Amino acid sequence: MRVVVTGGGGFLGRRIVERLLERGDEVTSVSRGAYPELEALGARTLRADLTDAAATRAALAGAELVYHVAAKAGVWGSRASYERANVAGTRHVLAACREHGTAKLVFTSSPSVCFDGNDHVDAGPDLPYSERYLAHYPRTKAIAEREVLAANGPDLSTLALRPHLIIGPRDPHLVPRLIDRARRGRLRIVGSGDNVVSLTHVDNAAEAHLAAAEALAPGARCAGRAYFVSNHESVRLWDWINDLLGALGVQPVRRRISAGSAYRVGAVLEGIWATLRLGGEPPMTRFVARQLATSHSYDMAQLARDTGYVERVGLAEATQCLVEEHA
């Protein structure tokens, strides 16, 4: 099958590309940067900016299946930059799929499209969208997801997957940043510390994408729907973090800040960063404060039922691999 993966050079995108090549697909990776390591594996690589409609049309020519993984992530940046990358970019992908007669589009979304600042425990795919967003990333991903699902029809079958807190080999963000902040004594338990959270090993996230594409077809149960993706087993977030740190010989996190205080600090820092136009992200934001203090875990039953997805890497193995990688 001729497959295009946008964002194929990224953490999740690369693993999807690798899995597709393993099963013998003809794979094109589309990214803004150069990734010769993907070419060495056998993928065709194209450099293109999805905010450019013409470049997107050219990049997706001939695709039977598209995995749209590329996005502007993070919790800080201008409204316009997120809308260009996540909304306009997705619209260009949809237009290119329609123009080229692409049969299937699997969109990588985020659980944050539903995050309203409250606890979500064992949530299923029917969890409603949030009515208020504290960052441009979840807001623009929600707009894009809605448009992808609305595009589902007899000529183009679509669905969205929402992997939560992806961990695993080559993670450039989540775990390395967490360990670094802990080593520098800059990590605090936010809230009660009892919140339960789902994590997703990158192999499971990639497997969910492949299983979803296999099941996707006009009239399929999964067509036009969105699904959360995570490991089946959830963790008490701060216990898991401290166990990981202990295995790495790093002092556990003991100091605390209340959820309300963290939220207020985030609001102040956002104001300072915006007023002074400082580079990088504030060390705390309102969105991050709410995320760190609340439970967000997900039920995989409907994903498995509708797509045939089977977890590849359990939580214990995933955690042990992190210890070995960062020791």
- Catalytic positions are 137
Q: Cα torsion at 303, 95, 144, 125 (round to 10°)?
A: -20
Q: How crowded is residue 103: how many other Cβ atoms within 10 Å of its Cβ? A: 18
Given a contact cutoff of 8 angstroms between Cβ atoms, the answer to whether 64 and 73 are in contact is no
Given a contact cutoff of 8 angstroms between Cβ atoms, the answer to whether 185 and 218 are in contact is no
Given a contact cutoff of 8 angstroms between Cβ atoms, the answer to whether 160 and 149 are in contact is yes
Q: Where are the beta strands (DSSP E) in 70-199?
A: 104-108, 120-123, 157-163, 166-167, 189-190, 196-197
Given a contact cutoff of 8 angstroms between Cβ atoms, the answer to whether 160 and 227 are in contact is yes
Residue 98: is it exposed, middle or buried by C-beta count within 10 angstroms (0-12/13-18/19+)? Answer: middle
The C-alpha atoms of residue 143 and residue 141 are separated, in whole angstroms, by 5
Q: Where are the beta strands (DSSP E) in 212-316?
A: 226-229, 235-236, 256-257, 296-298
Rg of the chain taking only CA atoms, in angstroms = 19
